[in-house]
Chain A
Amino acid sequence: MAARQKKLIALAALLCLSFASHASAQVARRVVSLVPNVTEILFAVGAGAQVVGISSYDDFPPETKSLPRVGALLDPDTERIFSLRPDLVIVYGSQGELESQFTRTGIRVYPYRHGGIDDVLQAIRDVARLTGHTADGDRVVRGMQKQFAAIRQRVGGRPRPKTMVVIGRDAGELRGVYASGGVGFLHEVLEIAGGDDVFADQKREAVQPSNETMIVRAPQVIIEVHAGDPPASQVLEKERAAWNQLASVPAVRNNRVHLLYGGYLLAAGPRLGQAADTLARVLHPEAFK
């Protein structure tokens, strides 16, 4: 009896395995993405028509508006995902439980991990290959590399201002400040755009500097990046004025505190070239005259 059971299990495992290997050889036709920047990548490599489900936070490109939403990092709706009959599900690398749930049923999973620009380019190539758009993926990657090279060349040789990129802060005051640290795509985009990161020595994606740290590090330029739309001009003015209490910081003294708005600035995807361009224009306006 036990021997027979073992045989059965082995057979089932073999079946699963062959099914899985069969599936991996195929191009994904129905893709569910739980990661907004990967959704953006899918559309950029021409796989938009294959996307059948997206996360609750997707808002780019506009074509995502009509697609079914299936949750996100904390609340993936597995039932709904299964009902969409995907053959590829893109999850966060930390969603291990979810990953095994799909692989067990023979659905392929691409675990996305957050990292630097090279990781973004690799994700573009991977996603393009999995959806049968390898050439388009390569084209997008080459396009971005060309953009980066052009910006590097444009700002090359100019003095690189010490820059702090702020990614979060309490409204109207200098509290709860989050800034980009010395690793990750934002840090790399800043370096490409011709700025020296004041927190380059902090080997983390985000740091929470105190007021004292910000005074001591004395950035020459402060760039706040916000994902949403720009607020009304008086609110904008008030938010910029919040920095005025750090009067000795060169960025404040020389009026080089910039508040930038736009989802592309914080999306680790195909629009990073555009983000680098925006930052470069802020850091080196004279290079774009």
Chain B
Amino acid sequence: MVRARLTSVVCAYGALALGACLAAPLIGSTHISLARAFDRSVPFADNVDAQIFFVARMPRVLTGAIVGSTLAAAGVVMQALLGNPLATPFTLGVSTGAALGAVLAITFGSSLAVGVLASVPLASLAGAVVASAIVYALATRPGRPISTMVLLLAGVTLNAFFSALILFVQYAADFTQAYRTIRWLMGDLDVGSFAPIVASLPMVLLSLGIFAFLPRPLNLLSVGADTAATRGVDVGRTQRLAFLSASLATAAAVSLAGPIGFVGIVVPHLVRLMVGVDHRVVLPASALFGAAFLVGCDLVARTVLAPVEVPVGVVTAMVGGPFFLWLLVRKS
């Protein structure tokens, strides 16, 4: 019964995500010819259509799909872990830690780079890891379940603390640096090559792999930790896995594209309104719908005021907000 439902939902949402990813690179501020883009007889350096397709649009669409699906799935996991519908992938300080790293790299002009990771993504990844490690160390005791209250408060406090540090660094920065910092905080999918995507893949795949084991224990956990324990769920282990995988997914997404808001909270709720609350269905459906949603929002962001672009985070909130409210009112 669940299996049949899962198959049909995944097929439907998968088709939506695939459709968005296939259509988005064809649409943009300039018209390109697909035949010419794939014409191998023209050298790549002479082929403007191929450049636009493979350098400007494909990496961007793939980044949107990866970031959208990881943030949406991480949102589902965080909401279940914290037992709080207002939880987002950014609630526990991961994104603010990443932002602090990015702000430091921009302000102090670090040119440190490792492999394909440039200084700003590298610094934001380091910030995200440090922030999650602090929260994890504060909220866990060996062999005991995590207190979600402590986890939530530690995360929120760390968020505030890192935000203060960001403001302090920005205050010391000069105008152009402060401006670039603000732009980074709006989020941006225009990565310009496949290298940063490849660099993020191990983290993304690992976290998505862990997510695959989470739906059943998360279902039981959302009924209550005690009930879950009597049904044979190792509550502490599930919580730790959920926290680590969601943090890893968020760190990968934020270091790739900056903190794009709204996806992690609105997509899980949208999907729940459409398919119910069973995590076995909600989690994969959210990942797929998140990909389609962010790719679609970015398409709007880069075409609606072309050649000027709207930051994609603005579009996710402006498109997602009213849509969510409409669905909320219609369902209740």
Contacts and interface: CB of A to CB of B under 8 A. Distances in A.
Interface string B28-51: 111000000000000011111011
Contact of A247 (B51, B120, B180, B302): B51
Q: How large is the interface on A (under 10, 10 to 19, 20 to 34, 35 or more residues)?
A: 20 to 34
B171 interface: yes
Contacts of A218: 48
B52 A215 contact: yes
Interface residues of B, number: 42
Contacts of A74: 171
Interface of B is mostly: helix
Interface in B34-80: 44-48, 50-52, 55-57, 60
A171 B120 contact: yes
Nearest to B29: A212
A253 interface: yes
Contacts of A178: 176, 180
Interface string A39-69: 0000000000000000001000000000000
A178 B183 CA distance: 11
B85 interface: no
A216 B176 contact: no
Contact of B55 (A168, A173, A215, A228): A215
Contacts of A211: 55-56, 60, 190, 192
B48 A248 contact: yes
Nearest to A239: B111
Given A210-B190, A212-B52, A247-B51, A172 B111 contact: yes
A286 interface: no
Contacts, number: 102
Contact of B28 (A176, A212, A245): A212
Given A168-B176, A168-B180, A231-B111, A174 B192 contact: yes
Contacts of B19: none
B46 A248 contact: yes
Contacts of A238: 111
A175 B192 contact: yes
Contacts of A171: 105, 109-111, 113, 118-120
Given A178-B180, A210-B56, A215-B56, 5 more contacts: A170-B118, A171-B118, A173-B192, A247-B51, A248-B45
Interface of A: 57, 73-75, 167-168, 170-176, 178, 202, 207-213, 215-216, 218, 228, 231, 235, 238, 245-248, 253
Interface of B: 28-30, 44-48, 50-52, 55-57, 60, 105-106, 109-111, 113, 118-120, 171, 174-176, 179-180, 183-184, 188, 190-193, 196, 302, 307-309
24 contacts: A75-B171, A171-B109, A172-B111, A172-B113, A172-B118, A173-B191, A174-B192, A174-B193, A175-B192, A176-B183, A176-B184, A202-B307, A210-B309, A211-B55, A211-B60, A215-B52, A218-B48, A238-B111, A245-B55, A245-B192, A247-B44, A247-B55, A248-B44, A248-B48
